[in-house]
């Protein structure tokens, strides 16, 4: 139980509300305890703030309450320490929302099957806040979304309470910038873009975030919403570009990785991006289509974004096609009945996050070709809690050893985790399809490597 901090039982001025954050007298409520919510809660606790985490998932809540972390970069001892200090509490009881002075919504914003924004989590969470909204609170959305979500979706729902934004309560938007697995850029060191529904909302939001983060204020919430989309569209478009270049250079017998390394020596006007087997994670494969959808409302086409999406979505098929060609050319073998080992099913290196991982698209394509599929991933011993790709639920990672590797017709490196012995894989595999340049250090030593 968080050591309390008296509820605000009288109307306070904006300066008095700000002082509660500055003086660590306020409670921060975090709705959604995933890869965004838990790290920001930990960052706040580290600076002496009191945090209550809310989630509908009892399994997550119970795990945190037992002092266990399910976030790769946060140790169990950190969670237990904050619980012991009385600075951190976790609950499924949303009636306790009234105890918090700030409510940070850190919930998923996926796409529908029609690749349109799915704001159901945002809407449901906002509706859960509604009965407990009180004067003086600030509600902040951190989930990636289209410009106008706060003013067009969140604000009207909360004003059904009879309270008015900017007068009785406050609204702001501050996009998450998490990079799971990146030890160089934790939540506490990544600058936080903040936009508010009015000047007072911005002032109050900054008084919160300034206590544990470096902030970057912008003029309004729509601008902050656009910032996050711009960041991820930039990455998606540039990754699509190098993916297309890779396919072109492959036909010419040119190694794209060598090209990128050489181009990176230019000290100006160039930034390296790297090809891969497709996009994964909760941001880059999804976020660009939030702007595509919203742009239609303004009769604007998003040709770059849509073309980038087409290229990136096609990469798993490109990998499987290359695998088929290599098996046929080298061994006169088809995929039908071939034993294929997928190396790495997380969406990026050194994390256990499988969301939108291109590995599953590759596995589905292999399954349609009647291949016999196994996987190895040191971060994911068993495939569990999938929202999609249910046919792979329950699969377990194989043991990595020479004997097992020799039993497969091919190994496909999809995720280049740092703790994998790639030379062991190459040395004992019949064929290695390397989509991540993980075997670069010894590609001249072995002839069974194919970059894909």
Helix 303-331 vs helix 358-368: crossing angle, to nearest 10 = 50
Q: Strand pairing partners for 376?
A: 343
Side by side, the strands of the sheet bearing 339-343 are: 372-376, 339-343, 410-413, 432-434, 449-451
Half-sphere exposure of residue 99, counting CA atoms within 13 Å on the CB side?
Answer: 21
Identify whether the C-beta of residue 242 lies closer than 8 Å to the C-beta of residue 271.
no
Residues that are catalytic: 283
Q: Do the strands 449-451 and 432-434 form a parallel or antiparallel pair, or are they unpaired?
A: parallel
Q: What are phi and psi of 4, to 5 degrees?
A: -90, 160
In the block, which residue shows the tokens 């919510």? 37
Q: What angle do CA 339, 342, 348 make, to 5 degrees?
A: 175
- Helix, strand, coil: what percent of the chain each, to 5? 40, 15, 45
Rounded Cα distance between 133 and 318, Å, is: 51
Identify whether the C-beta of residue 77 lies closer than 8 Å to the C-beta of residue 68.
no
CA dihedral for 439, 444, 447, 451, sign (positive or negative): positive
Rounded Cα distance between 124 and 130, Å, is: 10
What are the residues whose beta carbons fall under 8 Å from the beta carbon of 351, sequence distance 6 or more?
72, 180, 181, 379
């Amino acid at each position: 139980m968080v050591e309390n901090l008296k509820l605000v039982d009288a109307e306070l001025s904006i300066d008095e509300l700000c002082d509660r954050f500055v003086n660590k007298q306020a409670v921060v409520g975090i709705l959604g305890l995933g890869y965004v919510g838990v790290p920001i809660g930990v960052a706040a606790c580290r600076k002496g703030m009191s945090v209550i985490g809310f989630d509908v998932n009892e399994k997550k809540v119970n795990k945190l309450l037992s002092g266990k972390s399910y976030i790769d970069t946060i140790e169990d001892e950190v969670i237990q320490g904050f619980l012991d200090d009385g600075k951190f509490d976790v609950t499924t009881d949303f009636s306790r929302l009234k105890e918090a002075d700030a409510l940070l919504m850190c919930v998923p914003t996926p796409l529908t099957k029609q690749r349109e924004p799915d704001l159901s989590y945002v809407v449901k969470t906002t509706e859960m806040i509604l009965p407990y909204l009180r004067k003086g609170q600030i509600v902040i959305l951190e989930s990636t979304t289209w410009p106008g979500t706060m003013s067009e979706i969140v604000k009207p729902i909360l004003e059904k309470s009879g309270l008015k934004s900017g007068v009785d309560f406050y609204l702001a938007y501050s996009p998450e910038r998490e990079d799971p697995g990146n030890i160089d850029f934790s939540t506490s060191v990544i600058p936080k873009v903040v936009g508010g529904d009015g000047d007072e909302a911005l002032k109050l939001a900054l008084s919160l975030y300034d206590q544990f983060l470096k902030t970057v204020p912008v003029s309004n919430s729509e601008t902050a919403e656009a910032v996050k989309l711009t960041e991820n569209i930039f990455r998606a478009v540039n990754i699509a570009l190098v993916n297309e270049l890779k396919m072109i250079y492959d036909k010419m017998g040119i190694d794209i990785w060598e090209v990128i390394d050489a181009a990176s020596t230019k000290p100006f006007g160039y930034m390296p991006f790297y090809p891969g087997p497709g996009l994964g994670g909760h941001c880059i494969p999804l976020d660009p289509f939030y702007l595509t959808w919203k742009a239609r409302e303004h009769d604007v086409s998003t040709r770059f974004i849509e073309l980038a999406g087409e290229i990136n979505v096609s990469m798993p098929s490109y990998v499987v096609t290359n695998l088929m060609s290599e098996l046929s050319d080298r061994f006169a073998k088809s995929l039908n009945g071939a034993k294929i080992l997928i190396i790495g099913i997380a969406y990026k290196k050194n994390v256990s996050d499988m969301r939108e991982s291109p590995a599953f698209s590759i596995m589905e394509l292999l399954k349609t070709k009647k291949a016999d599929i196994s996987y190895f991933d040191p971060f994911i011993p068993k495939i569990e809690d999938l929202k999609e790709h249910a046919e792979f639920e329950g699969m377990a990672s194989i043991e990595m050893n020479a004997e097992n590797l020799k039993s497969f017709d091919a190994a496909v490196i999809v995720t280049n985790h740092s703790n994998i012995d790639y030379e062991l894989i190459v040395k004992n595999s019949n064929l290695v399809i390397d989509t991540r340049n993980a075997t670069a250090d010894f590609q001249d030593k072995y002839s069974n490597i194919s970059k894909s």
